[in-house]
Structure 1
Amino acid sequence: MSTAVEEEKIEAMIMRIEHKSKKIESLLKQSKPVEALKTALEGSPTNTKDQRCKSANWIVVHRAMMAIRDVDGMLSFLDPEYYDILMK
């Protein structure tokens, strides 16, 4: 795969993460932290090796997690599929 094509894919991933970030902020303002975390975890770039994508996504996930006061309760609301994504 050419470098230009890879760069375009990376830029598209970063744009999706930025869009996801806006949606998460909206959910947090509505006091929906679990929904915000689920949104943050959905479509996470777990297969990429690009550090910018990983870092940008971690910031979004971290922001959602920090809004949750009851972590044990949050884990009980998450579907098991999200656990794997969260650990990655």
Structure 2
Amino acid sequence: MAGAEGFVEADNAEAIIIRIEHKSRKIESLLKQGKPIEALKTALEGAPPKTQDERCKSANWIVVHRALMAIKDVDFMFSSLDPEYYDILMKYVHLII
């Protein structure tokens, strides 16, 4: 349940981690099939809601990073992303700069 500031409470962190682990397995499958753009889209879908739990943030970044590193053609990646995916990806990029 969301707290007063709109952040996910710690007791929901485990549920978020489980969803990220499931997403990670799906991404690995897509990468093995040679579908890195689909893997990236999957990684960006359902990004964890606002949470202060560092485990959730870190776990989802690892999933996004794994998909990004498999992409060889960055221009094609950007042209393939819908604006909503692009916006989410840019939020991740700004976090690491």
TM-score (norm 2): 0.82
State the one-letter code of the partner of 1:38. Answer: K
Paired residue secondary structure (1:54): helix
Would the aligned equivalents of 2:10 and 2:53 in 1 still touch at CA under 8 Å? no
- 1:33 aligns with 36
Structure 1 unaligned segments of length 5 or more: list them: none
Correspondence list, 1:1-88, <5 A: 6-88=9-91
Q: In the aligned structure 2, how far is the partner of 1:16 from the partner of 1:41?
A: 13
Q: In the aligned structure 1, how far is the partner of 2:17 from the partner of 2:74?
A: 27
Paired residue secondary structure (2:71): coil
Identity %, equivalent residues:
76
* Backbone CA RMSD of aligned residues: 1.5
Structure 2 unaligned segments of length 5 or more: list them: 92-97
TM-score (norm 1): 0.90
Point out 4+ residue stretches in structure 1 off by more than 4 angstroms: none
Would the aligned equivalents of 1:45 and 1:53 in 2 still touch at CA under 8 Å? yes
Would the aligned equivalents of 1:46 and 1:85 in 2 still touch at CA under 8 Å? no
State the one-letter code of the partner of 1:16. Answer: R
Bigger share in helix: 1
